[in-house]
Structure formats: structure tokens, C-alpha cells
Amino acid sequence: MADRVLRVLFGWEFGAGLGHLTRFRPIAERLVEAGAEVVLALQEIDRAGPFLEASGVASRPGFRVIQAPRWSISSDPKLRKIPTHIFADVLRLIGYGDTAALAHRVVAWEDLIAVVRPDVVVGDFSPTLNLAARGRVPRIVIGNGYTIPPAGRAMPPIRPWQAEVHDFSKQNEKALLDTVNRVTAARGEPTVPYLADILHGDETFVFSLPLVDPYAKHRPAPTLPPFNMPRGITPQPWDTREPDSVFLYLPRNHAQTRTALDALAAAKVAGRAYIGDLPPAAAKDLARPGLTMHGEPQDFAQVMPSVRLVIHHGGLSTAVAALMAGTPQLILPWNLEHLVTARGVETTGAAAVAPAEGLDAPKLVQAIRRLLSDRDRAAKAQAAAVALNLGDPEAGIAAVVQRIQHLAWR
């Protein structure tokens, strides 16, 4: 292999957030800088901007962007009400109980591997890529705590505060493992001992903080410090911040976005808001008197240390940024992963977590006014900023790059 260029296939199969790509980017860029070729198979091509030329009409040198095999995942909001207590419940919702659908996508990934001919594959929340590459190409898995439950055992609860696994979750895990092994048997391949194993590679790197890792107490080895977190955020003294200042950041499709904007306007505070993925035409509809609406993402390093309250949905990067800023948080979780993050941050005393049901604008107004006057919580938020340790971001990137090179050239 010494006479040709290292080629690495990155695969992103599931997950709606940008965290998957922000983990890929620094690793892929280091590889390209070292002379490697990187092919990115992405479930959402519209998110490929970091790997394209500024004009968007071509890939950046050293990168190739292609469409990953996709799943037909229902957008029915009722699915959010189906209980998900272990990660098998999550996989069931996104289609892993369908033997034919899984078999077709294993073949699609296998054919993609045959065309790309990578020396190593790197997957982030890509269990089908892991299955297709097993025994064919060295596999590295990266990801956060939520998407990588410990291998070699039955799945523990996602909620760290939940002690027992419900029978229906155990049944889901068994059914999905049976589905996976029907596919592997039909292909003449060894069975998979545990369902969690399909979320791991030959080597697996979990980047998370113990504070927000759902499986922290079950992991046989410590996680690595996340390298795709905000940096350079310095907390400011409380009395230097603008009185009654609030920054709100929620996704457009969050069920409580309109309610939160109404509450922020009704609270008559110095409110600023950014709504993610909001089309320009919709901004006027969401505008509220006395509320500054931003059309572009805001620099967390500037906005968060300058306000006295951050309202958000529980995204990990946002929660960590607010912790670094020493700013109290009001978290409106959007999904189970966000709830786990919210509950973890809540243990520092720096955050309050809103209930999923029964929340209306008047209740939110009361919560906003209460948090803005809560000096004790403000002090705890400042203390949490001092205690937070994100580790060395370069160490995790270097570790993955070194293992990719080692597996490719061994």
C-alpha cells in the first residue's frame, strides 16, 4: 500500500444534528493535510458545506462528497410520544426492525465500499456501514455518548436516573438483534452477539463529558474530551451584564418555539433570539414587539457571557457554551438526548429544566422573571464555569488520525 494514497470513507447514516459533521471535519482535514483522500457519504447532502468550495459548485481538494444510503423515516410527530428507554427503542423507531430494509441498505453500503475502495471507514451513528464493512475494511467509530451504548452487553437505560429496563425495551432489543442476525446469516457472516455491537467498530472513540454521558457509569473505559465543543468563552462578572438580558436559541420545529418567543416578549426583558433553520420569509411571522430577532447564528463567545439567562433546547454544544459563560440556563428539551443533557447540566445548579407537558407562555414568563432575579443560581453558574474542564481538543483528533493511519498501513 506504500505506493498509493491513503483513502478514507466517512459515513453518516442517522441523526439530525450538526455534531456528526463537526466531529468529521477536523479529523478529515488533518488526513487531507497529510495527503489522504477523503470520501464523505452523508445522509444530508445539504449539510456538506464545510467540505465544499466556497462557491458550493465543487468539493474542496482532497474531499469527495456523495449521498449515503438513506432510510425512509417517518416525520409523524406522534413518533416522539413512543417511549424510548434504551437505544434499541430508538433504532426500532428508525426502521431497524424491517429485515428487508436493513438487508437492502447493507448491500448498498457494501457496494459503495466496493466503488470507493477505502483503506479505512470512519462512521458516526452509522450502524449499517459498520455491518457492511465488518470483516472487509478496518472500521473506526466516533460519536458522542448517546449514540454509542457500551458494547458486549445488553443496553442500559438511556436515562441515568432510570434503574430498570422495561420488558418492552428488552423485547425491542431482542427483536432487532434477531433482525440483524437474519441479515448476517443470509450473507453467510458470523452473528452479532449484542445489538450494541453494531454501534461500535474495530476501534471506537466516544467523545463526551461524564456530566452528560447517559452511560457514564456503565462504560468500561473513560470517554475522551469532545473536540467539537465551543472554545474561548470567558465568563463575565454578573454585575457587568445588561440587566434582564436574555438570549433564546431554539430550532424552528421545536414544539415550544412560538410559546417561548411569546413569553420572552411578554416578560419585557432585553431579549435576543435566533431560531435555527428559519427561512427568511418566516422571520417576520415570528417577530415579537421588543424582541430582537437575529437572522444568522450568533457567536456564543460574545452573546452568552453578556446576558443573564440563556433559553435553549438542550443541544450539547449550546449547553456547554452556556456553562463556560457562567450563565444560568432555562432548558426546554426537544428530545430524549436533550433531556439527558439538560438533567446533567441541572445537577450543577446552573440550569432549570422546563416540563415537557403543560408549559404555556404565562408559566414561561414566571420562570424567566424568577431566573433573572435568582442570584444564588447565578453564583452556581459562575462556579460551574470554573469547574468545567473540556480537556485538550487536539488530543482526541490526533488519537483518531493516528489510529486511522495505523489500521490502514498495518
pLDDT reading at 358 higher than 90 = no
In this chain, the answer to whether the domains covering 7-227+392-409 and 238-387 adopt an identical fold is: yes
pLDDT > 80? residue 265: yes
Give tens-digit pLDDT for 58-115: 999 999 999 999 998 766 666 667 789 999 999 999 889 999 999 999 999 999 999 9
**384, HSE (Cβ side, Cα atoms, 13 Å):** 26
- Give the pLDDT of residue 168: 95
Residue 376: predicted pLDDT: 96
In the chain, what are the domain boundaries?
A: 7-227+392-409, 238-387
pLDDT of residue 2: 52
The pLDDT, as a whole number, for residue 122 is 98
- Predicted confidence band at 329 (pLDDT cuts at 50, 70, 90)? very high
Write out the CATH class of domain 7-227+392-409: alpha beta
pTM of the predicted model, to two decimals?
A: 0.89
| pLDDT band, very low/low/confident/very high, at 365 (cuts 50, 70, 90) | very high
Indicate the CATH number for domain 238-387. Answer: 3.40.50.2000
pLDDT at 231: 84
User: What pLDDT is attached to residue 74?
Assistant: 63
Look at residue 259 in the predicted model and tell me its pLDDT: 93
Residue 3 has a pLDDT of 64
Higher-scoring residue by pLDDT: 283, 178 = 178
Q: In this predicted structure, what is the pLDDT of residue 252?
A: 85
Choose between 79 and 193: higher pLDDT: 193
Q: Per-residue pLDDT averaged across 299-308, rounded?
A: 95
Higher pLDDT, 54 or 215: 215
Look over the chain and give the mean of its residue pLDDT values, rounded to a whole number: 92
Q: What is the pLDDT of residue 77?
A: 61
Q: What is the pLDDT of residue 76?
A: 62
